[in-house]
């Protein structure tokens, strides 16, 4: 679990699921309901207070490891592109990921494509450790005017 370094902060929870259906089953279970009850005091009421985002891995790493999270802060960038830009953004990300993988030292970057589509648009979300220079993330974000950037700190 991670908290955004902003005011007001956002809570980021990441978890791997075999499928959106498996996640829906988890959502309905009593263990998850109890956890959500404990978290409810931190969640503002309203229609956008909780966002579920299911992703397919964009790179060579099938799952986002948490190897970078306990080290402190990290970045999360959301980039929405049209279908014509998807291939170019994918290639740029793959080049970035390959560069970091060749250096060793654990996972530094992970990205995924949103499963849910909105017309021609595709959502691309990048998680980057503090070992990823800002200019690399800005380079990926330059593919679109529809971007979002947040910094989170690992708390649990």
Local structure of 111: helix, strand or coil: strand
For residue 118, the cross-strand partners are 121
The total domain count for the chain is 1
Q: What is the structure's pLDDT at 74?
A: 85
Q: What is the structure's pLDDT at 26?
A: 86
pTM: 0.82
Q: What is the structure's pLDDT at 156?
A: 62
**Percent helix, strand and coil across the chain, each to the nearest 5:** 35, 30, 40
**What is the chain's length?**
156
Cis upstream peptide for 8 (omega within 30°): yes
**Cβ–Cβ contacts within 10 Å for residue 117, how many?**
11
Return per-residue pLDDT of the chain as tens, 156 residues.
566 666 666 667 777 778 878 888 988 899 988 887 887 776 766 656 666 678 889 999 888 776 555 667 888 899 999 999 999 999 999 999 999 999 987 789 999 998 877 788 999 999 998 889 999 999 999 999 999 998 887 766
H-assigned helices in the chain: 20-28, 30-39, 83-103, 134-141
- Residue 40, domain extent: 2-154
């Amino acid at each position: 679990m991670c908290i955004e370094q902003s005011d007001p902060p956002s809570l980021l929870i990441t978890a791997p699921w075999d499928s959106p259906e498996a996640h829906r089953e988890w959502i309905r279970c009593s263990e998850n309901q109890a956890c959500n009850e404990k978290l409810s005091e931190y969640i503002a009421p309203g229609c956008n207070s909780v966002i579920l985002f299911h992703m397919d891995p964009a790179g060579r790493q099938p799952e986002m490891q948490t190897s970078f999270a306990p080290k402190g802060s990290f970045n999360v960038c959301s980039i929405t592109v049209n279908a014509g830009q998807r291939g170019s953004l994918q290639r740029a990300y793959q080049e970035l990921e390959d560069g970091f993988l060749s250096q060793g030292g654990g996972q530094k970057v992970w990205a995924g494509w949103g499963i849910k589509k909105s017309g021609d648009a595709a959502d691309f979300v990048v998680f980057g450790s503090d070992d990823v220079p800002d200019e690399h993330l800005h380079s990926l974000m330059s593919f679109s005017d529809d971007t979002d950037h947040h910094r989170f700190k690992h708390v649990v």
